[in-house]
Structures are given as structure tokens and as C-alpha cells.
């Protein structure tokens, strides 16, 4: 059996555009002699369309895409992720489904049973779970093909130590006699996820002795990035195809040959984070109608990396770097920024804030900072003046403003609300400072030259809002702080678990109480959408109250 992976990039609500992509992929699959073409979850409407799936006019018209897709399937079978109406009066109005269409005939739907409501997912808010005993087995070219939708594949009791659900819809399909298993997915990228999927698919294929076709969505929608990286495992659990990550892929493989396909993924996890950020910028800008972008370039590593990523995503000619020196900006920061702009080939301009700062500080009777933290109002006013300038340019030139703060800073509130947090997209909001350095070094190594000057990478981090200011005057060193933040956010570790891993107790509790302070939660909830690259990230998947009296207390 020849199977086509249709790993396409969809846009929420662009039903006509998504449908056109689906039909084009079906035509390409037919030209390649394919028997079966498989699309991602909710390919017709876009996954993460959220409460659009509750609007009555949207619900009333959810079946329209299939009217264009069904006639295109003459001579081939297509499995298409879509939504369909729940005709009963009870429950949610829609099912999350896979439509199985063969030779111009709709054979039926495989509805999603397990509806996730953790991290970035909230499926029970929009969808009704499949009824018990739902038919998920279909005849394709004489083979019994079992079809499951995303979460229905992710509950294998022989693979997961802890399971979220008692039932396993995939086991049920296999027990019905499936000879090939197809899983359609909208599985977002986070660190380690690509390898995890490979291990999970390979394990089940080998255990059940049947081939598995796992197709995943690709593309950025708001801060969520889907990496694709679709794969096919044969009945021995060998991965015979691993589709490229972070790009569309519509290609065909012979399922029965059991021969590894040369196309696939290259690079390690740092490279994957890099690619996720580039795709996140590109799709957020283009899907929201921006061709050009801008950012404030400080001479520090964060803004330097964002500039490099933006240039890769949208082309250097579409990136404007704005340098905004203050009385406390070092000469090196300005010259380093000039060198970076030359290396990237971006546009640049300089807008000094010194005169405006002096005027406002005098008008508001603010003491000028003589060392970091001595006059926070005066320090923050500099950042807010820069934010004002950047937003004015964004408005006047229709440029998407990219926020440059990293996760380490945002976690502990080392940022200025309405200043450096301004923007339409937080590029590094889920990237720890130590990861920022690693991505910058990997970028230079891959280029074989200093795109980001090593002076920027090596210099001690500083907000440069006061004389001789350094981040370490206010914070623990990032290599010390980041492992604590990683355990807290990504592993959901308790303070004592973090201490048990070898971290200083007093420091752990200090950091976590900074993270959870109401003032810092207030800042984070006003951030622009954040590109997510980790589990339990700062962003849509993390829900905390602003107003609270919780405080971590160290045990004896």
C-alpha cells in the first residue's frame, strides 16, 4: 500500500484556504500513485480555533469543506481531520473527527474519544467525546485500516507510566482486527517531543506487529507551534519515514517495502528550538498580515538573537533594528549592535532617548539612578520611553513589534511592564537565558562565522538602566537559576524536590516566591502571545491568579 503523508500548515478559520491545500495534496498523492493520503487533526478548520467552535454560524456550516473534498477523492482514499455536528440535543455541538473518504464516497467518521484539558488543550470546552462503540475500522484497498484522532493514540498502558484515562481507544481498534493503524494529530512542539513520538509509535508498532501511520500538523498558530515530524513505523517498530520538522511535507512512501526512507530530520534539540522560533515568527507575522517587523536592539544577547531569528523568518530586508541609547548605554553595546546589523543585512535606525529621559526625569522630580535598583522609576522610564518609540514606529510603518525578553527574566519579573514587554509577539518568552546563549552559539557554528558577534554572547548581561549595572546585581547567575526554573515549570517539581536535586534551599524558595509574586504574575498576564517551546510554559497553558496570598515556605 502506498501512503501519502499530507503534513500541511493550516490557518485557523481559513476554511477555503485549508480546503484548497487539502485538495491540492490529494491531487499530488494521486499523481504519485498513492492509495491513501492522510491529513492532520482538524485540517479543514484549523486546530486551536478555540471558541469559534461554539459560534452558531460556524457550527451550522462545519460540513461545507467536505463538499469540495469528497469529489476530489476519485481513485484514492483520504483521511481528513475535520469537525462535524453533534445532532443530539445534549452535549457539545461538535465532534472532533477524522472523515474517511474513498473514491468520491464518504465512508464515515472516526470521532475523538479522549479530550485533553491540560497545558494548551481545552477540548472538552468545544467537543463532545465519541459515543461508546464508535466505528473506527475502514476497508482501504482490501486492508482493515483503524483510525484514531490524536489523544486516542496517546494512552498506551504499556508505554506510559502514568495514564490520564482508563480506556485506550487504540487498543479497541486493534482488537477489532486493524491491519494498519492511522493516527491523525495536532501535537504541538516542545523540547523532547519529537523523540518521544518516535519512541511511542515504534513501541506500539512493534508490540502489536502492525504498521502505524502517524501524521501531525505543522505551522504556528498564535504562540503554539506544531512541528509536523510525521512518521511511519513498520510492523517491527522500525521508523521507515520521519518527515522533516517545521515545514510542509506531502510525499508518498511504500508501506509494505519496510525500507527506511532517506528524507527526515537533522539536528539536535537546540536546532529544533531555533527552527520552532523561526516558524513561530514567520507564521504569526504572515497569518496576521505583517510583511515587516521591528525590534529594539540593545547590544545584548536577547535582542541580537531575536534579530537573527526574524531575519531568517522574514528576510533581513523586512527587519528593522532600532537602537535607542540612553545616558547609561555603553559604547560597546552601540558598536556591537552596528556590527550585528551589518552581519544580518537588516535595516537600522538610531533614536536616542537621552534628551527625553532628562526632560521627564526633571519634570517628574525623579532621582537619577547612580546604581542598579536605587531609582526604579527612573530606570523603568527609560524602558518605557523605548517602548513608546517602538510602538510609534510599529503604528506608522505597519511593522510587527517583536518583544525580546527571555523566560528567565519574565519568570522572576526582571522586566518593565509597558516597556521591554511591549510587542505583538514574545519570541523568547519560553526560552531560558542559558538556552538563548546555546541557540546563538549554534547559529554561529552552523553559519561558520560570527553572525552574532562573540562579544555580545560573552558580555555580562545588563539592562543598562543605571551606571555599571549587571543582571547579577539583582538575580542569581543564570546558569544557577535556570535549572531551578526548568524543574519548576517543565517538571512541575515541588520546592523540596528541587532542593533534593542539589539546589540551595534558600535560593530555591527565593526564586519560586519571585516567580509566584502577584506583581510578576500581573506582568506575565499582559505579555504578548509567547512562542511555546516547552511543557507548562509561560503562556496560554499556565493559569494562575494575579490576586493571591500563596507563599512558599521552606521546611525545617
Catalytic residues: 41, 112, 150
Confirm if 69 and 19 have CB atoms less than 8 A apart. yes
Question: Hey, what's the cell of 402?
Answer: 517583536
CA distance 252 to 207: 25
Residues 6+ apart with CB under 8 A from 222: 48, 284, 529, 540
Residue corresponding to grid cell 531569528: 309
C-alpha angle 319-324-326 in degrees, rounded to nearest 5: 165
**Residue 268: CB atoms within 10 Å:** 8
CA distance 234 to 167: 25
Which H or E run includes 88? Answer: none
Confirm if 543 and 198 have CB atoms less than 8 A apart. no
Q: How far from 270 is each of 19, 442, 479, CA to CA, in Å? A: 34, 7, 16
Which H or E run includes 115? Answer: none
Q: At what angle do helices 301-314 and 331-344 cross, to 10 degrees?
A: 20
Question: Hey, what's the cell of 121?
Answer: 488543550
Q: How far from 298 is each of 211, 323, 338, 351, 503, CA to CA, in Å? A: 52, 6, 10, 12, 32
CA distance 285 to 222: 10
Residue corresponding to grid cell 551589518: 342
The sheet with strand 231-233 has its strands ordered as 137-140, 143-149, 180-185, 212-216, 231-233, 239-242
CA 469 to chain centre: 33
Backbone angles phi, psi at 175, to 5 degrees: -65, -20
CA 467 to chain centre: 37
Question: Hey, what's the cell of 196?
Answer: 518521544
Question: Hey, what's the cell of 214?
Answer: 502517524
Question: Hey, what's the cell of 149?
Answer: 484522532
Amino acid at each position: 500500500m502506498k501512503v501519502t503523508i499530507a503534513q500541511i500548515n493550516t490557518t485557523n478559520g481559513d476554511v477555503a484556504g485549508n480546503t484548497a491545500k487539502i485538495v491540492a495534496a490529494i491531487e499530488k498523492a494521486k499523481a504519485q500513485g498513492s492509495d491513501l493520503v492522510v491529513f492532520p487533526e482538524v485540517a479543514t478548520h484549523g486546530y486551536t480555533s478555540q471558541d469559534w467552535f461554539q459560534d452558531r454560524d460556524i457550527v451550522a456550516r462545519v460540513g461545507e469543506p467536505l463538499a469540495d473534498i469528497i469529489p476530489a477523492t476519485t481513485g484514492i482514499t483520504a483521511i481528513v481531520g475535520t469537525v462535524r455536528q453533534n445532532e443530539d440535543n445534549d452535549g457539545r455541538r461538535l465532534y472532533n473527527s477524522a472523515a474517511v473518504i474513498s473514491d468520491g464516497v464518504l465512508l464515515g467518521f472516526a470521532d475523538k474519544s479522549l479530550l485533553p484539558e491540560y497545558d494548551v488543550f481545552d477540548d472538552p470546552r468545544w467537543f463532545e467525546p465519541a459515543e461508546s462503540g464508535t466505528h473506527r475500522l475502514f476497508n482501504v484497498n482490501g486492508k482493515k485500516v483503524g483510525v484514531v484522532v490524536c489523544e486516542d493514540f496517546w494512552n498506551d498502558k504499556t508505554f506510559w507510566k502514568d495514564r490520564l484515562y482508563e480506556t485506550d481507544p487504540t487498543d479497541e481498534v486493534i482488537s477489532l482486527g486493524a491491519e494498519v493503524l492511522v493516527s491523525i494529530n495536532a501535537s504541538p512542539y516542545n523540547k523532547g517531543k519529537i523523540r518521544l513520538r518516535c519512541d511511542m509509535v515504534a513501541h506500539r508498532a512493534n508490540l502489536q506487529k502492525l504498521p502505524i501511520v502517524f501524521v501531525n500538523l505543522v505551522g504556528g498558530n498564535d504562540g503554539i507551534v506544531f512541528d509536523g515530524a510525521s512518521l511511519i513505523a513498520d510492523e517491527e517498530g522500525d521508523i521507515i519515514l520521519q518527515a522533516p520538522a517545521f515545514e510542509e511535507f506531502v510525499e508518498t512512501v511504500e508501506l509494505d517495502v519496510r525500507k527506511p526512507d532517506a528524507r527526515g530530520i537533522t539536528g539536535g534539540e537546540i536546532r529544533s528550538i531555533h527552527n520552532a522560533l523561526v516558524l513561530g515568527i514567520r507564521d504569526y507575522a504572515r497569518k496576521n498580515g505583517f510583511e515587516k517587523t521591528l525590534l529594539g536592539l540593545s547590544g545584548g544577547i536577547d535582542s541580537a538573537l531575536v534579530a537573527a531569528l526574524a531575519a531568517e523568518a522574514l528576510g533581513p530586508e523586512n527587519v528593522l533594528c532600532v537602537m535607542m541609547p540612553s545616558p547609561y548605554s555603553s559604547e560597546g553595546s552601540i558598536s556591537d549592535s552596528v556590527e550585528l546589523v551589518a552581519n544580518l543585512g537588516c535595516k537600522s535606525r538610531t533614536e536616542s532617548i537621552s534628551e527625553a529621559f532628562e526632560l521627564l526625569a526633571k519634570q517628574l522630580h525623579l532621582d537619577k539612578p547612580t546604581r542598579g535598583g536605587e531609582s526604579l522609576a527612573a530606570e523603568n522610564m527609560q524602558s518605557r520611553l523605548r517602548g513608546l518609540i517602538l510602538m510609534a514606529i510599529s503604528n506608522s510603518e505597519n511593522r510587527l513589534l517583536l518583544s525580546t525578553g527571555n523566560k528567565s527574566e519574565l519568570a522572576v519579573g526582571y522586566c518593565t511592564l509597558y516597556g521591554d514587554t511591549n510587542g505583538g509577539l514574545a519570541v523568547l518568552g519560553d526560552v531560558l537565558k542559558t538556552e538563548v546563549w546555546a541557540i546563538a552559539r549554534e547559529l554561529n557554528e552552523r553559519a561558520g562565522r560570527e553572525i552574532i558577534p562573540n562579544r555580545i554572547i560573552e558580555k555580562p548581561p545588563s539592562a543598562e538602566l543605571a551606571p555599571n549595572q549587571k543582571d547579577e546585581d539583582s538575580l542569581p547567575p543564570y546558569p544557577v537559576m535556570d535549572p531551578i526554573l526548568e524543574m519548576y515549570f517543565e517538571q512541575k517539581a515541588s520546592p523540596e524536590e528541587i532542593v533534593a536535586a542539589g539546589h540551595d534551599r534558600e535560593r530555591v524558595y527565593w526564586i519560586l516566591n519571585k516567580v509566584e509574586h502577584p506583581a510578576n504574575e500581573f506582568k506575565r498576564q499582559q505579555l504578548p502571545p509567547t512562542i511555546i517551546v516547552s511543557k507548562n510554559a509561560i503562556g496560554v497553558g499556565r493559569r494562575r491568579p494575579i490576586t493571591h496570598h500563596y507563599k512558599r515556605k521552606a521546611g525545617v
